[in-house]
């Protein structure tokens, strides 16, 4: 803590954290201000880091290697991504916005082409292969693999809409629903755990910065916020009454 800039950073952190948490009380000016600052800072940071870490060395580093000095040699083909990138910016000019479709078309086509092969390989073929039962294993592993197989088949039947879910198909799809519900339950449990983990992280920082070393940042800002919110809500109530 040799510089006061550290203290400014700590106080900003505490203000932002408590402002976001203040949403639990209701929508209020602290929350709104923190939300807008977060969006602005994130956009600015991502723009700057993308420009300096990616666009500048990888694109301009290949077009102007002697000037940028990013370790690349001149490659004239990189004029194409430069033009496609500029086309994207033409969205801001209504009469030329159609040019952006060329860039978007390239991105969509390229991404779809790349994804098809890897998805079929890793998510379909490998998964089908591993849904089979290995009868050389122990009784428990066979039982486990059998359960996985039932889950896969019944889950797929549930999403088969070309035939009405009646009779045998209906019964199998009902088993599929139970497997899906277990999956959703597990996902919900993990989601709760993730959110609590984030809360723990925030509280740890708030506890750390409530010490004398940081000029009691947390308690001071917390008290100021409560007072301001109280005044703000009373004024709001008065306004509502007069209206």
Partner 1 sequence: MRNFLIKLGTIDRKFIFVLIALAVLIPLLYPNLIELPIKVDKNTKIVFNSISELKSGDKVLLSFAYGASTKPEVHPMAIALLKHLFAKDIKVYIVSLWPESPIMANQAIKEIIDTKLFNLEEGVDYALFDYKTGGFIVIKGIAENFREVYKQDHNGNLIEDLTIMDDIYSVSDFDFVFDFSAGVPGNAEWVQYACDPKKIPLSSGCTSIMVTDAIPYIESGQLKGILAGMPGAAEYEKMVYDLLQQQLNKNSNLNKDAVLTKGKALARMSAQSVSHLLMVIFIVLGNVSYYFSRKNN
- Contacts with partner 1 by CB under 8 A lie at 24-25, 45-46, 49-50, 53-54, 57-58, 61, 70-72, 114-115, 118-119, 121-123, 126-127, 129-130, 148, 183, 186-187, 190-194, 196-204, 207
C-beta closer to partner 1: residue 9 or 170: 9
How far is the C-alpha of 122 from the C-alpha of 130, rounded, in Å?
A: 11
C-beta closer to partner 1: residue 8 or 107: 107
∠ Cα 73 75 76 (to 5°): 150
C-beta closer to partner 1: residue 61 or 176: 61
Provide the minimum distance between the beta carbon of 95 and partner 1 in the complex, in angstroms, as a whole number: 29
Provide the minimum distance between the beta carbon of 25 and partner 1 in the complex, in angstroms, as a whole number: 7
C-beta closer to partner 1: residue 46 or 86: 46
∠ Cα 147 151 155 (to 5°): 170
C-beta closer to partner 1: residue 32 or 115: 115
* DSSP conformational letter for 123: I
Report helix, strand or coil for 67. Answer: helix
Exposed / middle / buried, residue 7 (Cβ in 10 Å: 0-12, 13-18, 19+): middle
| 3-class SS shares of the chain: helix, strand, coil, % to 5 | 85, 0, 15
Q: Give the tokens for residue 204.
A: 């740890």
Query: Which residue's entry shows tokens 């690349």?
Result: 72
Provide the minimum distance between the beta carbon of 9 and partner 1 in the complex, in angstroms, as a whole number: 13
Provide the minimum distance between the beta carbon of 186 and partner 1 in the complex, in angstroms, as a whole number: 5
How far is the C-alpha of 173 from the C-alpha of 119, rounded, in Å?
A: 25
C-beta closer to partner 1: residue 180 or 220: 180
Report helix, strand or coil for 180. Answer: helix
Provide the minimum distance between the beta carbon of 242 and partner 1 in the complex, in angstroms, as a whole number: 27
Provide the minimum distance between the beta carbon of 116 and partner 1 in the complex, in angstroms, as a whole number: 11
């Amino acid at each position: 803590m040799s510089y006061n800039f550290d203290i400014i950073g700590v106080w900003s952190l505490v203000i932002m954290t408590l402002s976001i948490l203040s949403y639990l009380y209701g929508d209020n000016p602290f929350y709104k201000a923190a939300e807008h600052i977060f969006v602005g800072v994130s956009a600015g940071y991502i723009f700057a880091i993308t420009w300096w870490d990616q666009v500048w060395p990888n694109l301009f580093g290949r077009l102007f290697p002697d000037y940028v000095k990013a370790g690349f040699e001149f490659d004239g083909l990189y004029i194409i991504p430069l033009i496609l990138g500029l086309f994207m910016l033409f969205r801001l000019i209504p009469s030329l916005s159609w040019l952006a479709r060329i860039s978007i078309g390239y991105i969509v086509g390229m991404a779809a082409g790349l994804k098809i092969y890897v998805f079929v390989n890793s998510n379909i073929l490998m998964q089908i292969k591993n849904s089979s039962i290995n009868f050389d294993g122990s009784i428990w592993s066979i039982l486990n693999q059998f359960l996985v197989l039932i889950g896969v088949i019944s889950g797929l039947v549930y999403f088969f809409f070309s035939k009405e879910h009646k009779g045998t198909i209906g019964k199998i799809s009902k088993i599929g629903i139970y497997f899906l519900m277990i999956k959703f339950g597990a996902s919900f449990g993990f989601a709760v755990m993730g959110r609590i983990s984030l809360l723990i992280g925030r509280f740890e920082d708030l506890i750390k910065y409530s010490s004398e070393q940081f000029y009691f940042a947390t308690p001071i800002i917390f008290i100021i916020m409560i007072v301001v919110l109280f005044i703000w809500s009373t004024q709001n109530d008065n306004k509502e009454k007069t209206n």
